[in-house]
Chains A and B, each alone.
Chain A
Amino acid sequence: MTNMNNIRNFCIIAHVDHGKSTLADRLLEYTNTIDSRKMRQQFLDTMDIERERGITIKLVPVRMQYRANDGKEYILNLIDTPGHVDFSYEVSRSLAACEGALLVIDAAQGVEAQTLANAYLAVDQGLEIIPVINKIDLPGARPDEVLRQIEEVIGLDSSQAILVSAKEGIGIPEALEAIVKRVPPPTGNEDAKLQALIFDSIYDNYRGVISYVRVVNGCIKKGQSIFFMATRKEYEVEEVGFFTPFMSPAEELKAGEVGYVIANVKTIWEARVGDTITDANSPADKPLPGYKHIKPVVFCGLYPLDRDDFPRLREAIEKLQLNDSALAFEPETSEALGFGFRCGFLGLLHMDITIERLKREFEIDLVATAPTVAYEILLKDGEVIEARKPSDFPDPVKIEEIREPFIRLTIFLPSDYVGKAMKLCQDRHGEFVSLDYITPERVKLIYDLPLAEFIVDFHDRLKSLTRGYASIDYEQVGYRKSDLVKVDILIHGEPVDAFSFICHKDDAYKRALGVIKKLKELIPRQLFEVAIQASIGSRVIARENVKPLRKNVLAKCYGGDITRKRKLLEKQKEGKEKMKMIGRVQIPQEAFLAFLQANEEE
């Protein structure tokens, strides 16, 4: 059996596209963990979407056996981490399961925003960090410059950085040796009371919930009664084992080891990321630190395009939720879209991926409304309420203050684009924090920005302003008081919930104008003149009119052919039936859709 001294638990952290998955594949290949003939490229990314987007969402921990140059046999547990800030909590839990990290940096691109964020997270967890400069085979590779950045920007010793080309297989043995030599072995106590960290859970149709764990102290074996310290529930262990990378059952998991636990857990919410498993009969005094109950921060409505698909959509979201405890949802109805769900996500990427999976894996055509955030509203009577959509907002006279979630946004970009990026941040009501020149050509810019301003299209804008040279990272920094207003849209005097929006007071007029102009184009002429108004409370801030209808076809009665006229009228009516009556005004579905989906401002 293995000795704890022969175990190395490590992860790979990197900015998107810096080659994390390719490096992981090479490690698996080199250690013969998987047959290179069976090797699918980027083995760890199990979902199609992950492979397409080059990002990892689900973590698959793999156990590798490696005979090092010192002649000893080592167990290397690679714990893959999600590569996106949306999942920073999961990342932090994965890091907590390791003792070391390979920090991968692209030799051509150098240090990017997430490189820094991930490195800091790893430092925070006290991990040994091994810098790996990847893609040294690229013509644009500047390893010397990158080494300098590791020293100057991140503040790590670069003298022992490893130069790698994962694609060409260069530097892989060196990386493995460095893991063995530099990553410390785990330091748990096998005889102490059981403490095992859940760093991920998945739901399997046949086996129920499978939790990925790192045993910190004690050991866990089949038949044992265990207790989940956050959820305060007890289970009996059915099976424990390792990932090789396929699940292979084992007798027990001991302190320092990484593997899986199946314990008849019914739902994924019972096996939360960050929870501590202990022995039910002799429990540990306290749980492992760092557990957080994660809350969704970005919300959007999901509606089936075909209203009959509603039950299928519910089923699909429920199934996704089995594997994604961060996904929240509740039923919602919309005037335009019928029945659907308001879903909460950890961030934009989490949202995009969920929508994509619903479309792809469950083949549901759906409409996603523009993302929103949750606001905190302090009422005059002292009560604080949460508002996830404009209709949750109370009467303005009752509101003392409105708070919105802010993020601290770090942007790495060439200095040429600094002016443009700062202008964008200012326009989005960002608060300047700092600006540092990493090199004369490269700048680190930090702003605090309302999350609501970020989620709409900030990243796309920034990318186009900087021709794709900017990289970003962000963390949530809590709620702050903001000068926000709710703008209502009235059509022929009737407020239409679906068109209301929340925005910064200074933008209210401009955005209101944009919205009513768009509606004017989309709402067909009616039998009477229709006023479209935007108002804040009872104050009208903008107005447009839709002129009354004056189109008529006076055709001949065609020799008594009444069926012709009837067909024309029926066709005409059919078009109208797809419209929604708001008071006396007919509004086509497209108007709602155009409004709900993308809020492109002119």
Chain B
Amino acid sequence: MRKNRSDRVNLLNESFVLALSSPLSLYVHIPFCVRKCPYCAFYSVVSKASEIDNYMNCLDEELKLWAALAGGKIKVQTLYIGGGTPTLLNHWQWEMLISSLERYVDFLPFLEASVEANPGSLTADHIKLWRSWRITRVSLGVQSLDDGELQLLKRPHSAHDAADAIAALVASGLDVSVDLIFGLPGQTIQSWHRTLKDCLNFGIRHLSIYELTLEEGTPWGECPPSGLTEGYPLYRFAQWYLPKKGFIQYEIASFSLPRHWCRHNIAYWQGENFLGVGPGAWGYLDGFRYGNTREINDYFDQITSENLPVAYQEILPQDKQAIEAVILALRTRWGVTATTFKRKYGWKAYRKFLDTWEKLPSDCRAACRGRHAFTPKGFRIANALWENFL
């Protein structure tokens, strides 16, 4: 629910601000794209260079506001720079971003810094810059290695561009993750297999696979393309194929070589605190959740008047927190850990969780050493299972 700015939680007066004194995760949104993909519901705009410069200044301001609340530098363990298209920033804009981050962020204890890249706009300069700074991990928006499928998705790159980008990133020594989409019109098990296999052959260590989702407010959400294939068999194929290649499914959509998990995403799923900066970014501090305005001009206005550009906020009561924690934790192979869960949400909430858990079909769940997690089958129908916890 959108609240009037006047009845907003005043962070300065609230205990949530205390969360800022402990290490957390930071998400930085770069809301620019060369063009909008018809399926994407992330906030982004097709930009002009001057607008990006202005934006870099605003990000600096927003970080400064948070640092002020934190009473010093923000302690960050994992950093994720996503978009939009972060590789649309040129060298100088990256320099600006890095200097802002260095100014307001204390990377301690530092675990990971990821950046999203697009094969069409990734340059050798980007890689060099990232290597020379703190970036450890790059998530490349490949989506497919089939030119037909890429055209259909209206991606601004070809399969060849994607292959070059993967190769270059792997060669640079960064941890490389590739994003793929399945359930595309005309996609078959064979074409899906080729894409997966080609990706692995480049030596990537992490793979995120997403089913094509028709989101409201996107062109495909309003007018779906014809010939959509059912994603289920493709997903099941990936669940069979990737483990054979040494990849562990550590989350519903994420596969990686052991210990090459994305730490930043794990922080989300474990209900840890995180800040999000930039339009449409989200943050969570000990039960307080906020969402920034999605409108870039509104964002500019707010920052100019030295306000946090928060447009949505809620304080989750303990029981809601517990439910969210269950759903998020069950995305991962580690699932709900009895001891941690009981400590955080109490014995009653745990009992309630178990009651529901035990009613789920037995082939969808597994319990092992105090952890309750979905089986591969459970992952496949997770939506239907989660619903039971609401």
Task: Please state if B327 and A554 are interface contacts (CB–CB under 8 Å).
Answer: no
Q: Which residue of A lies closest to B383 (CB)?
A: A552
A576 to chain B, nearest CB (A): 6
In the bound complex, residues from chain B placing their C-beta under 8 Å from that of A563 are: 282, 289, 291, 312, 314
Would you call B219 an interface residue if the criterion is a C-beta within 8 Å of the partner chain's C-beta atoms?
no
Q: Given known contacts A563-B291, A569-B387, is B253 in contact with A554 (CB within 8 Å)?
A: yes
Task: Please state if A554 and B209 are interface contacts (CB–CB under 8 Å).
Answer: yes
Q: Which residue of B lies closest to A571 (CB)?
A: B387
Q: Given known contacts A552-B381, A554-B252, is B211 in contact with A566 (CB within 8 Å)?
A: no
Residues of chain B in range 240-277 having any CB-CB distance to chain A below 8 Å: 252-253, 265, 268, 274, 276
Which of B312, B382, B387 gathers most chain A CB within 10 Å? Answer: B387
Partner of A562, one of B328, B360, B382: B328
A549 and B227 CA atoms in complex are apart in Å by: 21
In the bound complex, residues from chain A placing their C-beta under 8 Å from that of B211 are: 552-555
A587 and B215 CA atoms in complex are apart in Å by: 27
Task: Please state if B210 and A555 are interface contacts (CB–CB under 8 Å).
Answer: yes
Binding site for B on A (CB under 8 A): 527-528, 549-563, 565-566, 568-570, 572-573, 576, 584
Q: Given known contacts A552-B232, A552-B380, is B280 in contact with A562 (CB within 8 Å)?
A: no
Q: Which residue of B lies closest to A562 (CB)?
A: B324
Task: Please state if A528 and B361 are interface contacts (CB–CB under 8 Å).
Answer: yes
A276 to chain B, nearest CB (A): 66
A527 and B210 CA atoms in complex are apart in Å by: 22
A551 and B324 CA atoms in complex are apart in Å by: 22
Task: Please state if A573 and B387 are interface contacts (CB–CB under 8 Å).
Answer: yes
Task: Please state if B235 and A554 are interface contacts (CB–CB under 8 Å).
Answer: yes
Task: Please state if B383 and A553 are interface contacts (CB–CB under 8 Å).
Answer: yes
In the bound complex, residues from chain A placing their C-beta under 8 Å from that of B29 are: 559
A569 and B388 CA atoms in complex are apart in Å by: 10
In the bound complex, residues from chain A placing their C-beta under 8 Å from that of B312 are: 563
Residues of chain B in range 172-229 having any CB-CB distance to chain A below 8 Å: 208-211, 213, 215
A570 and B252 CA atoms in complex are apart in Å by: 19
Q: Given known contacts A527-B361, A560-B282, is B381 in contact with A555 (CB within 8 Å)?
A: no
A389 and B268 CA atoms in complex are apart in Å by: 56
Task: Please state if B381 and A549 are interface contacts (CB–CB under 8 Å).
Answer: yes
Would you call B231 an interface residue if the criterion is a C-beta within 8 Å of the partner chain's C-beta atoms?
yes
In the bound complex, residues from chain A placing their C-beta under 8 Å from that of B252 are: 554
Partner of A556, one of B231, B253, B314, B383: B253
In the bound complex, residues from chain B placing their C-beta under 8 Å from that of A550 are: 232, 380-381
In the bound complex, residues from chain B placing their C-beta under 8 Å from that of A549 are: 381, 384
A555 and B364 CA atoms in complex are apart in Å by: 20
In the bound complex, residues from chain A placing their C-beta under 8 Å from that of B94 are: none
Task: Please state if A554 and B268 are interface contacts (CB–CB under 8 Å).
Answer: no
For chain B, give the interface size range. Answer: 35 or more
Task: Please state if B282 and A562 are interface contacts (CB–CB under 8 Å).
Answer: yes
Can you name 8 A-B pairs with beta carbons within 8 Å? A527-B360, A552-B211, A552-B232, A555-B215, A559-B29, A562-B289, A566-B324, A572-B387
Q: Which residue of B lies closest to A551 (CB)?
A: B232
B111 to chain A, nearest CB (A): 17
A572 and B390 CA atoms in complex are apart in Å by: 10
B79 to chain A, nearest CB (A): 13
Task: Please state if A555 and B213 are interface contacts (CB–CB under 8 Å).
Answer: yes
Tell me if B's interface is mostly helix, strand, loop or mixed.
Answer: mixed
In the bound complex, residues from chain A placing their C-beta under 8 Å from that of B276 are: 559-560
Would you call B336 an interface residue if the criterion is a C-beta within 8 Å of the partner chain's C-beta atoms?
no
In the bound complex, residues from chain B placing their C-beta under 8 Å from that of A555 are: 210-211, 213, 215
Partner of B27, one of A528, A553, A559, A566: A559
Partner of A557, one of B215, B265, B291, B364: B265
Q: Given known contacts A553-B383, A555-B210, A566-B324, is B280 in contact with A527 (CB within 8 Å)?
A: no
Partner of B280, one of A554, A559, A566: A559
In the bound complex, residues from chain A placing their C-beta under 8 Å from that of B359 are: 584
A560 and B289 CA atoms in complex are apart in Å by: 10
Q: Given known contacts A554-B210, A560-B274, is B232 in contact with A570 (CB within 8 Å)?
A: no
Would you call B41 an interface residue if the criterion is a C-beta within 8 Å of the partner chain's C-beta atoms?
yes
Q: Which residue of B lies closest to A584 (CB)?
A: B359
A571 to chain B, nearest CB (A): 10
Would you call B66 an interface residue if the criterion is a C-beta within 8 Å of the partner chain's C-beta atoms?
no
Q: Which residue of A lies closest to B314 (CB)?
A: A563
A568 and B41 CA atoms in complex are apart in Å by: 14
A528 and B360 CA atoms in complex are apart in Å by: 10
A399 to chain B, nearest CB (A): 38
B317 to chain A, nearest CB (A): 14
Task: Please state if B41 and A558 are interface contacts (CB–CB under 8 Å).
Answer: yes
Task: Please state if B27 and A527 are interface contacts (CB–CB under 8 Å).
Answer: no
In the bound complex, residues from chain B placing their C-beta under 8 Å from that of A568 are: 383
A586 and B51 CA atoms in complex are apart in Å by: 53
Partner of A558, one of B42, B361, B382: B42
Partner of A553, one of B213, B283, B314: B213
B76 to chain A, nearest CB (A): 14
Task: Please state if B364 and A560 are interface contacts (CB–CB under 8 Å).
Answer: no
For the complex of A and B, 4 pairs with smallest distance between CB atoms: A554-B211, A560-B282, A555-B213, A550-B232
Task: Please state if A569 and B282 are interface contacts (CB–CB under 8 Å).
Answer: no
Task: Please state if B210 and A565 are interface contacts (CB–CB under 8 Å).
Answer: no
A581 to chain B, nearest CB (A): 11
In the bound complex, residues from chain A placing their C-beta under 8 Å from that of B283 are: 560
Task: Please state if A552 and B360 are interface contacts (CB–CB under 8 Å).
Answer: no
A527 to chain B, nearest CB (A): 5
Partner of B386, one of A551, A569, A584: A569
Q: Given known contacts A550-B232, A552-B232, A561-B282, is B390 in contact with A573 (CB within 8 Å)?
A: yes
Partner of B82, one of A527, A552, A559, A570: A559
Would you call B107 an interface residue if the criterion is a C-beta within 8 Å of the partner chain's C-beta atoms?
no
A563 and B316 CA atoms in complex are apart in Å by: 11
A528 and B253 CA atoms in complex are apart in Å by: 23
A570 and B41 CA atoms in complex are apart in Å by: 19
A323 to chain B, nearest CB (A): 49
In the bound complex, residues from chain A placing their C-beta under 8 Å from that of B289 are: 562-563
Would you call B385 an interface residue if the criterion is a C-beta within 8 Å of the partner chain's C-beta atoms?
yes
A558 and B283 CA atoms in complex are apart in Å by: 12
Task: Please state if B384 and A556 are interface contacts (CB–CB under 8 Å).
Answer: no
Task: Please state if A527 and B381 are interface contacts (CB–CB under 8 Å).
Answer: yes
Interface flags for B40-51 (1: CB within 8 Å of A; 0: not) read 011000000000
A565 and B211 CA atoms in complex are apart in Å by: 14
B107 to chain A, nearest CB (A): 19
Task: Please state if A554 and B231 are interface contacts (CB–CB under 8 Å).
Answer: yes
Would you call B140 an interface residue if the criterion is a C-beta within 8 Å of the partner chain's C-beta atoms?
no
A555 and B276 CA atoms in complex are apart in Å by: 19
In the bound complex, residues from chain A placing their C-beta under 8 Å from that of B282 are: 559-563
B351 to chain A, nearest CB (A): 21
A319 to chain B, nearest CB (A): 42
Partner of B384, one of A527, A557, A565, A584: A527
Q: Which residue of A lies closest to B274 (CB)?
A: A560
In the bound complex, residues from chain B placing their C-beta under 8 Å from that of A559 are: 27, 29, 42, 82, 276, 280-282
Q: Which residue of A lies closest to B281 (CB)?
A: A559
Task: Please state if A570 and B381 are interface contacts (CB–CB under 8 Å).
Answer: no
A527 and B363 CA atoms in complex are apart in Å by: 10
A568 and B27 CA atoms in complex are apart in Å by: 23
A558 and B327 CA atoms in complex are apart in Å by: 15
Q: Which residue of B lies closest to A555 (CB)?
A: B213
A553 and B39 CA atoms in complex are apart in Å by: 14
Would you call B55 an interface residue if the criterion is a C-beta within 8 Å of the partner chain's C-beta atoms?
no
A556 and B27 CA atoms in complex are apart in Å by: 15
A558 and B265 CA atoms in complex are apart in Å by: 11
Interface flags for B358-390 (1: CB within 8 Å of A; 0: not) read 011100100000000000000011111111001
Task: Please state if B27 and A560 are interface contacts (CB–CB under 8 Å).
Answer: yes
A72 to chain B, nearest CB (A): 84
In the bound complex, residues from chain A placing their C-beta under 8 Å from that of B381 are: 527, 549-552
Q: Which residue of A lies closest to B323 (CB)?
A: A566
Task: Please state if B27 and A569 are interface contacts (CB–CB under 8 Å).
Answer: no
Would you call B32 an interface residue if the criterion is a C-beta within 8 Å of the partner chain's C-beta atoms?
no
Would you call B288 an interface residue if the criterion is a C-beta within 8 Å of the partner chain's C-beta atoms?
no
A579 to chain B, nearest CB (A): 12
In the bound complex, residues from chain B placing their C-beta under 8 Å from that of A554 are: 209-211, 213, 231, 235, 252-253
